[in-house]
Amino acid sequence: MTRSDADDQAQGPPGEPPLVAIVDDDASVRNSAGRLIRSFGYRAEVFASGEEFLASPVAAQTGCLLLDVRMPDMDGLEVQRRVTARGLAIPVIFVSGRASDDEERRARSAGAIDFLRKPIARETLLRVLRKAFSRGEGDHDDDV
């Protein structure tokens, strides 16, 4: 799959809002993030693990990935690596309540759009999502 093919798939059907996939092992975090993202007007799908996300057909349709860093079995950095290895051009926003500076550095050096610390303010999440979705459009306005 080429980068432009992945970009086309991430847009979803015409007229449908972009899809944000949320991968977090904490059910309350992923469900509240899903509700919040839907309130912004985006579609949201939630996954309890990186394995679940990567096995889903939704992965190829994802416009942005909200990804926890520390999860059992497969951490967020490995999920990011596998997404990239598949040739999927999905903007990744990492979230964590307890990540190290080294984890943040590695995530950013691998291309993460941003790295947010929990709890995340509503306005911050909306600003970063807009940044992620405007990335391919030449519009890098970070204002809310």
Q: What is the pLDDT of residue 74?
A: 97
Q: What is the pTM of this model?
A: 0.85
pLDDT per position as a tens digit, 31-49: 999 999 999 999 999 999 9
pLDDT per position as a tens digit, 1-18: 333 333 444 455 678 999
Q: How many CB atoms lie within 10 A of CB 41?
A: 10
Is residue 56 domain-resident? yes
Is residue 107 domain-resident? no
Is residue 133 domain-resident? no
Domain range for 31 is 3-101
Is residue 127 domain-resident? no
> Which CATH number belongs to the domain containing residue 21 in this structure?
3.40.50.2300
- Look up tokens 């309540």; give the residue: 97
Please give the tally of structural domains in the chain: 1
CA distances from 92 to 14, 63, 82 (A): 23, 9, 12
- Which residues in 85-118 are b (16+ Cβ under 10 Å) and which e? eeebbbbbbbbbeebeeebbebbeeeebbbbbee
* CA-based torsion, 43, 17, 9, 36: positive or negative: negative
Is residue 121 domain-resident? no
Cα distance between residue 6 and residue 124, in whole Å: 26
Is residue 45 domain-resident? yes
Cα distance between residue 58 and residue 22, in whole Å: 11
Average pLDDT, whole number, for the chain? 87
Q: Report the relative pairing of strands 43-47 and 92-96 from DSSP bridges.
A: unpaired
